[in-house]
Amino acid sequence: MKIIEPRVFEDKRGFFLETYNEARYHEAGIDIRWIQDNHSQSRKGTLRGLHYQVENAQDKLVWAVRGEAFDVAVDIRPGSETFGKWVGVVLSAAKKNQILVPKGFAHGFCVLSDECEIMYKCSDVYNREGEGGIIWNDPTIAIDWPITDPILSDKDAALPTIDKARMYP
């Protein structure tokens, strides 16, 4: 997992940045072929996740293009010494920072601003039959979310705990 702070060029007109540059990211050790881009919009208090792909596993490069979100990655690689551990970072359109969520990690975020738009690149296509998920408030993982009563989809509200979840190989 990596947190990325892109170079941002700002002046009186606004700003410019490269959200991805293959050569520069390869130099930083990110050698991934991106297949799909996703864009979501959510209102304050929304929590999406924790999601992952068991089949068609995906690396994800994630950033906020509007607003702010607390973004989380959880290690779900069986046998990993950090299995069940999480890392969180505030992604914001103002900071323009990114997080690389590798294959074998569950991903989720909650919206801190009135609205937030998240974009992310994926290294494989979405496969509904191959998806997995873990409930956001799993006590074993114990993520320190900055919200206590999130807005959830019915699907996310019904996700299992990590010990009952369909596991990444």
CB atoms within 10 A of CB 23: 6
- Kindly list the structural domains of the chain, giving each domain's residue range(s) and its CATH number in brackets, ordered by start: 2-157 (2.60.120.10)
Query: Quick check: is 51 catalytic?
Result: yes
Catalytic residue selected from 25, 52, 107, 120:
120
168 is catalytic: no
Each residue's pLDDT, cut to its tens digit, for the chain (169 residues) gives 677 777 777 788 777 877 888 888 888 888 899 999 999 999 999 999 999 999 999 999 999 999 999 999 999 999 999 999 999 999 999 999 999 999 999 999 999 999 999 999 999 999 999 999 999 999 999 999 999 999 999 999 999 999 999 887 7
Q: Model pTM?
A: 0.90
Catalytic member of 25, 51, 52, 168:
51
